[in-house]
Amino acid sequence: MSTASLSLVAATIETSDQPDTDQTTTTDTDTDTDTIGENADVELVAPPEAVAEYKDPHELIIDENVRMSFDLDDYPEQEASIRVRGVRAPALAQRGADGKIRVYDGQLRVLLARKVGLAQVPVWITPADPDVVDNEQRIERLLDQITLNDRRIPLPEVDRARGIALMLELGATPTRIAQGLARKRGEVAKTGAIGASQTATRLLAERQFDLDQLAVIADYDARGDTDAVTRLENAGRWDFGYTRRLIDNERATTRDRLETALAYAVYGFGILTTEPDTDTGYLPIERLVTEAGEPVTVEHLYTDPTLWVVWLAVERGRLLVDTESGAHVAIEDVDWSTRANPDATPADGLRHVDTVTRADKWTPTYYLPEKALPGSGFTILATAPDPEAEAAVVAAREQARLDRRRVRVLNERGEAVNERRYEFLPRLLAGATLPRDTAAFVAETLAHRLAFDERAQVSALLGIEASTESLVAAIRAASPNRAWKIVLAMQVAIAELKIGKSLWRDGGESTGRYLRFLSEAATELNARTGDTDFALVEVEQAAAKLIDYRDIDIES
């Protein structure tokens, strides 16, 4: 029989008194696109204008399908049922203008029918609307597939992400997809970005990161930044925020460096993207003299800038400049007592804090490539009387360069970790449960700040010995309450204001005590919430005196 009436096919399905495993049976591992579970909220209803036909499964084209994460070998029960009783639930298909029939729902049933050698399968066929463009038909088909699958057996998140990514590629807006799938627009945008990235979809399947983190990886993947993708993938969830901030800041610094370098490039200077060391074939200007033995100055460079290359080092926020003109302002010319008071009148000869802002300081270092030395008119300066002494001078110069680089790299990491910590702190303070050692942390901090007479007064009121140890012991014995959360917030603010980007080197005992507390508090909070996105990184560990900053690997 090549053609059957729609009513006959429907009646066959409705009157069947035997369970058909290819349409009614599911297993714990079943991820079939097409299987309808016994309790699924799906009715097998013929599409409008559908024609019921029996077709050779090999003549049917398996159309674009949102579910890709399945293997026919994973469905032995469905295969056995189809082998014995055939396909009972019709597939849904469209007949295109070319006459070809494309299945858009029933993918698994058709493939299993091919595998077991069935000659015919039932199909409901509707004509493709010639007035609807192909992309529009594909978008609607993908929306239907995701919706139908979620009402049966929910799609794997990987397939959902790929389907949303494809719809976005076809021209559907995030708003349209969100409405069609009853999801939030922001979630659709993130999921679509993840689905467009092979790395992000793989990590989604492995469930290593949350949606926001995967969206960040997908964004860098879309830019072709393989270094960032690799670093984020290797960071792990707890270190992800810090690594992301570090990469973001590094990329921002690179962009700013190239923009600043344009002023040098227009003169003909070559631009270095990394700072050279002593073994890379570049001679710093301070190692050179003219043929007359005079030190080489910047004026000498501008006689032929094409001979030279320049490296630009940055110190973020180092300069104080006028907010309007950008002119440099000396720190002693500002009345700092006017801070946070826009109506304050500065002292005579001084200016209001609001008239200045911080700016980055870019310092150029000029190098002559060794291959350009012959015929340049310059020669290497002999700084010591013998080769061994000269080598020692060169080694000392290189060590000084490495020390400067260590300061710069660790400052960058300090800035990134500070930003990451600021994101964590609101979550710490928002919970209904305080960290176990909150009272002890605040009490000990305040106890160490009390002057002798203040401590004596507190001790007299409490009736305890006038010592820091006794005071701390008494406070730890007290029951914490909501007021401690407010106190903790105040204490955290005080602690954070003392921490700068050089925390790894300059952090005192109070900073170390604060960071150690924060580490323990994060461990407790993460255990309660199931998150693992915060722990002290190396620069913080150095500030907390848990490691020596000199042992931090600055090349990784």
pLDDT in tens, 364-382: 999 999 999 999 999 988 7
pLDDT in tens, 205-217: 888 898 899 999 9
- Highest-confidence range of 149-153, 420-424, 480-484, by mean pLDDT? 420-424
More confident call, 22 vs 420: 420
Q: Nearest CA to 431 among 536, 518, 529? A: 529
- What distance in Å separates the CA atoms of residue 446 and residue 454, rounded to the nearest whole number? 11
Query: What are the backbone angles phi and psi of residue 241, rounded to the nearest 5°?
Result: -60, -45
End-to-end CA distance of the chain: 70
**What distance in Å separates the CA atoms of residue 57 and residue 118, rounded to the nearest whole number?**
7
DSSP secondary structure of 250-313: HHHHHHHHHHHHHHHHTTT-EE-SS---TTSSEEEGGGEEETTSPBP-HHHHTTSGGG-EEEEE
Q: Is the CB of residue 268 less than 8 Å from the CB of residue 309?
A: no
Confidence check: pLDDT of 299 > 50: yes
Q: Among candidates 87, 86, 119, 84, which has minimal Cα distance to 106?
A: 87
Can you give the pLDDT at residue 302? Answer: 93
When mean pLDDT is compared across 120-129, 304-313, 512-521, the lowest value belongs to 120-129
Q: How far is it, in rounded angstroms, from Cα 188 to Cα 172?
A: 11
- In this prediction, residues 253-269 reach a mean pLDDT of 95
Q: Residue 23: how many CA atoms within 13 Å on its side-chain side?
A: 20
**CA-to-CA distance for 205 and 208, rounded, in angstroms?**
8
- Let me know: does 116 contact 79? Beta carbons within 8 Å: yes
- Reading across the β-sheet that carries 282-284, which strands appear in turn? 270-271, 309-322, 356-369, 282-284
Coil, helix or strand at residue 130: coil
Q: pLDDT at residue 245 above 70? A: yes
Q: Are 164 and 130 in contact (CB under 8 A)?
A: no
The CA distance from 539 to 431, in Å, is 27
Taking only the tens place, the pLDDT of each residue in 37-65 is 333 333 455 566 778 888 899 989 876 66
**Neighbouring residues of 396: CB distance < 8 A, sequence distance ≥ 6:** none
Q: CA 329, CA 461: separation in Å to the nearest integer?
A: 51
Read off the pLDDT band of 383 (50, 70, 90).
low
Where are the chain's structural domains? 6-155, 267-381, 408-551
CB distance 122 to 54 below 8 Å: yes
